[in-house]
Amino acid sequence: MSLSVLPSLLFFVLGLVYTTATVMLPDASIGRAYEPKIFPFMLGFILLVLSLGLIARELKEVRGKNEKESAPPFYKESGFNKILMTCVFAVLYALIFNKAGYVISTIIFLELELILFNGKENWKVNTAVALVFSLFIYIIFSKVLGVFLPLTPGLWI
Amino acid sequence: MDTLGFLLDGFMVALTPANLMWVTIGGLLGTIIGMLPGLGPATGVAVLLPLTFSMGPTAALITMGGVYYGAMFGGSRASILINTPGDGAAVAATFDGYPMTQQGRAESALAISAISSFFGGIFATVCMVAIAIPVARFALKFGPAEYFMLFLFALSATAAMSEGNRLKGFIATIFGLMIATIGIDGQSGVIRFSMGILELQSGIDFLIIIIAVYALGEVFKSFKNIDSGKAKVQTNFGKIWISMEDWKRSVWPILRSAPLGFFVGALPGAGGTMASLMAYNNEKQLSKHPEEFGEGAIEGLAAPESANNAASVGAMIPMLTLGIPGSGTTAVMMGALLLLGQQPGPMLFQQQPLIVWGLIASMFIGNIILAVINIPLAGVLVRVLSVPPKILYPIVLGLSFVGAYAISYSVMDFYILVIFGLVGYFMSKAKFPTTPMILAVIVGNNMEQSFRRAYKIADGDVGIFFGSPICLILFTLTIISIFYPLLRGYFIKRKAGKA
């Protein structure tokens, strides 16, 4: 099966899951019992109809097209690995954010990102950018704008 | 006349030293973000949103207004100098702007772009002053049923504008509305679609989704080209100004394109990209030398620049007067207004006139300040373009995360940010437009509440949605917006068949 049908198929599945979840919602204890379900039910139903229409259109297009014409799938594109790595770094960032504090965790996250893009060999530039950005944002947000950012244990920042 | 009185009050607010400083800072930062390839005004406002958290609503809106125009100015700098538009609205500036740079006429290109943007912006602001109050007054007649139909029209018009991908546009809209239904239902207290996750019971903050799609998603898309090395940018310029001959060629295109841009911008979903492309094609058709278009014709740069700035002001009208954002960027600004506890719509004009008129007055001031910044300081500002994206994009990522944290003080939002960043990226890859989804996420809750209120008032009779002339007109407009492209396609085919 061609990859181009996948998104419409996913939306169809989403429509199914969402509509089922809507039907299973508890009744409202005030007003009409079914009222919280009306709007979501309409959405689920419309999504099912639209995604079926799209699946039909995509299948028709796939048949009419030569295999050679199709572009390489997204996961083979350059840069896709970097997106995945960025997501991994972001999860790591989230895990250490409260424990290590804003400045330290941001320096680590940016250093990793900069190594990914700018290369290990430019470590001096990378470290300088990570340090300056983290401290600058900390001072602007925490000290000037009064936005709370978690502190690093044992340090004044 | 009360409009002038309000406007004067607005100027009193906008001209305070603090607000002048904010509009300048917003404009400068916006210009820098707008210059980054792939990142436009919506990303600029989304990423710089946290700057406004400690401000009052007026200063916050004024700052965001500055970021908005700044990013529009910045987007065209990148189009003209390195042929990489910041966003869709700046694409038309590459057609003749970049050839002008190649011919050694970068100075004229930068100057005419700033001058036309300035004129477009000022013209549109004057129009806005004239029509904002009548529109807001008219909107006061709207009840819940009318509002529901208005949301329906705005969303379907936005989805239908997704050129060539209308079906996908509608799917993206429904997806956005679905996201808006997550969390506790305001009217019955029933918890919906939270999947047992405690943090989802209060719903997903739409600002997080905006930052995810417009900042993370856009940066993800740019990863593909991140290694293409830094572009060679001209940073030494002669006098940035235009000759009399250039001015004569540009003045009418600028004046013609501003009203066009304003009108297109005020329509839901159309926005700056369509306005600038329409203005470009319009001028090409009217020109005595259409063959020069694309080869560095100055009017081919002046027209779209005037139109897209006028459109950016026009897009504010439905957002401020009706509470319906007309573009991605105004959606972000509306999100920020809601965060500050202000509900955009006709009541805002009555209850908080200083906020609205302070913003309108700051549009005049912001346009002047940006023209001043962008003409003499162009040489300094464009040096940003010579900083490699390899360093700038990680910084944009860093800003996105701190922005998300500052909205809710919860690390849970980092995960939501990553998930929706990926959703935005994959949607773009699969050619699903993301703007209709964002608009739907923002208006979804209000749309459902209007629906439910009307349903309650009519005691379950859906006839209420067709019960008033306003409802019927909006319903007709919705149908037209859905079927017009189909009909147009049919007539074009028929015409081609006859020819």
What are the chain B neighbours of A46 within 8 Å (beta carbons)?
170, 174
Separation between Cα atoms, residue B439 and residue B42, nearest integer Å: 12
Helix, strand, or coil here: A92? helix
> What ipTM score was computed for the predicted complex, to two decimals?
0.92
The answer to whether the Cβ–Cβ distance between B189 and A29 falls below 8 Å is: yes
| Cα distances (angstroms) measured from residue B116 to each of A140, B84, B258, B288 | 35, 20, 9, 21
CB B111 within 8 A of CB B375: yes
So what's the pLDDT on residue B384? Answer: 77
Question: What part of B 163-192 touches A (C-beta under 8 Å)?
Answer: 167-168, 170-171, 174-175, 177-178, 181, 185, 187-190, 192
**pTM of the predicted model, to two decimals?**
0.87
Out of A47-51, A63-67, B339-343, pick the least confident: A63-67
Alpha carbon B85 to its chain centroid, in Å, reads: 15
Q: Which long-range contacts (CB under 8 A, 24 or more apart) does B95-101 make?
A: B95/B280, B95/B293, B95/B294, B95/B300, B95/B301, B95/B304, B96/B293, B96/B294, B96/B295, B96/B296, B96/B297, B96/B298, B96/B300, B96/B301, B97/B301, B99/B294, B99/B295, B99/B296, B100/B296, B100/B298, B100/B301, B101/B234
The answer to whether the Cβ–Cβ distance between B398 and A77 falls below 8 Å is: no
Separation between Cα atoms, residue B199 and residue B493, nearest integer Å: 52
The answer to whether the Cβ–Cβ distance between B193 and A74 falls below 8 Å is: no
Secondary structure letter of residue A29 according to DSSP: S
Q: What is the pLDDT of residues B195-240, one digit of tens each?
A: 888 888 888 888 899 889 988 988 898 887 766 655 567 777 777 7
Q: Which of A29, A86, A109 to mutate to test the interface with B (most CBs of B within 10 A)?
A: A86
The answer to whether the Cβ–Cβ distance between B223 and A54 falls below 8 Å is: no
Report how many Cβ contacts below 8 Å link chain A to chain B.
161
So what's the pLDDT on residue B1? Answer: 54
Flag whether pLDDT at A1 surpasses 60: no
Burial class, B478, CB count within 10 angstroms (exposed 0-12 / middle 13-18 / buried 19+): buried
Flag whether pLDDT at A70 surpasses 60: no
Separation between Cα atoms, residue B312 and residue B65, nearest integer Å: 10
So what's the pLDDT on residue B176? Answer: 96
The b-or-e profile of B384-407 (16+ CB within 10 A means b, else e) is bbeebbbbbbbbbbbbbbbbbbbb
Q: In the beta sheet, which residues pair with residue B184?
A: B191
Secondary structure letter of residue A26 according to DSSP: P
Q: In the beta sheet, which residues pair with residue B183?
A: B192
So what's the pLDDT on residue B228? Answer: 61
So what's the pLDDT on residue A69? Answer: 54
What is the share, in percent, of chain A residues with pLDDT greater than 70?
A: 89
Separation between Cα atoms, residue B255 and residue B306, nearest integer Å: 8
So what's the pLDDT on residue B381? Answer: 77
Task: Kindly report the three-state secondary structure assignment for every residue of chain B.
Answer: CHHHHHHHHHHHHHCCHHHHHHHHHHHHHHHHHHHCCCCCHHHHHHHHHHHHCCCCHHHHHHHHHHHHHHHHHHHHHHHHHHCCCCCHHHCHHHHHHHHHHHCCCHHHHHHHHHHHHHHHHHHHHHHHHHHHHHHHHHHCCCCHHHHHHHHHHHHHHHHHCCCCCHHHHHHHHHHHHHHHCCEECCCCCCEECCCCCHHHHHCCCHHHHHHHHHHHHHHHHHHHHHHHCCCCCCCCCCCCCCCHHHHHHHHHHHHHHHHHHHHHHHCCCCHHHHHHHHHHHHHHHHCCCHHHCCCCCCHHHHHHHHHHHHHHHHCHHHHHHHCCCCCHHHHHHHHHHHHCCCCCCHHHHHHCHHHHHHHHHHHHHHHHHHHHHHCCCHHHHHHHHHCCHHHHHHHHHHHHHHHHHHHHCCCHHHHHHHHHHHHHHHHHHCCCCCHHHHHHHHHHHHHHHHHHHHHHHCCCCHHHHHCCHHHHHHHHHHHHHHHHHHHHHHHHHHHHHHC
The answer to whether the Cβ–Cβ distance between B397 and A86 falls below 8 Å is: yes
Q: What is the pLDDT of residues A120-148, one digit of tens each?
A: 888 999 999 999 999 998 988 888 877 88
Separation between Cα atoms, residue B196 and residue B182, nearest integer Å: 11
Q: Which of A3, A117, A122 to mutate to test the interface with B (most CBs of B within 10 A)?
A: A117
Segments in chain B below pLDDT 70: 1, 163-164, 226-232, 269-270, 498-499
Task: Kindly report the three-state secondary structure assignment for every residue of A69-82.
Answer: HCCCCHHHCCCHHH
Flag whether pLDDT at A29 surpasses 70: yes
CA distance between the termini of chain A: 54
So what's the pLDDT on residue A66? Answer: 60
The answer to whether the Cβ–Cβ distance between B429 and A74 falls below 8 Å is: yes
